[in-house]
Amino acid sequence: MIELIDIQQEGWLMDEARKLFEEYERELDEDLCFQSFQEEIKNPLKKYGPPLGVLYVAKWNSEIAGCVALTPLKEKGVCEMKRLYVRPHYRKHKIGKVLVEQVMKDAAMMGYTKMKLDTLEKLQPAIGLYKQYGFVETTSYYENPLDGVVYMEKELA
């Protein structure tokens, strides 16, 4: 059974979110220092906390399985989905879909009209998931030095 927990304060679940962020970076096999990643790990709520952001940890049968975050962008009404990650042995349970659905629902309820994200060409399952939810490729919305970056966006209802 999937359980999503909206993290709004420090505690053991925040520590679990930090671990998931670090696993995410290791799995990408990329250095995310250009995104101030270490600062983000130290204080995730600075970027993803209320009232303009969210940070979820997903549990599968009481075990920590994944995460997703949402942060505002400078453009009015536009937000960014960040750090969607599901541990490999939980991916068969559709946890990524549940996380994407929840973060899109929250974004719309918070008044955002568009959601953007970036991913890498090598992450074809993620790109497929985003396309299932109506995301389309778009132009770069920030400077990213990595190779094979794919920028996507979706209008929110």
Written as one string, the DSSP assignment of the chain is -EEEEE--S-SHHHHHHHHHHHHHHHHHTS--GGGTHHHHHH-HHHHH-TTT-EEEEEEETTEEEEEEEEEE-SSTTEEEEEEEEE-GGGGGGTHHHHHHHHHHHHHHHTT--EEEEEEETT-HHHHHHHHHTT-EE---SS---STTEEEEEEE--
Residue in the structure block whose two tokens are 């599901």: 86
Query: Which domains are assigned to the chain?
Result: 2-155 (3.40.630.30)
Give me the pLDDT at residue 43, please: 83
Parallel, antiparallel, or unpaired: how do β-strands 78-86 and 114-120 relate?
parallel
Give me the pLDDT at residue 86, please: 97
Give me the pLDDT at residue 148, please: 80
Render each residue's pLDDT in the chain as its tens digit; 157 residues.
999 999 988 788 888 998 998 898 888 765 655 456 677 888 888 889 999 999 999 999 999 999 999 999 999 999 999 999 999 999 999 999 999 999 999 999 999 999 999 998 988 999 999 999 999 999 888 777 667 889 999 999 7
Give me the pLDDT at residue 41, please: 80
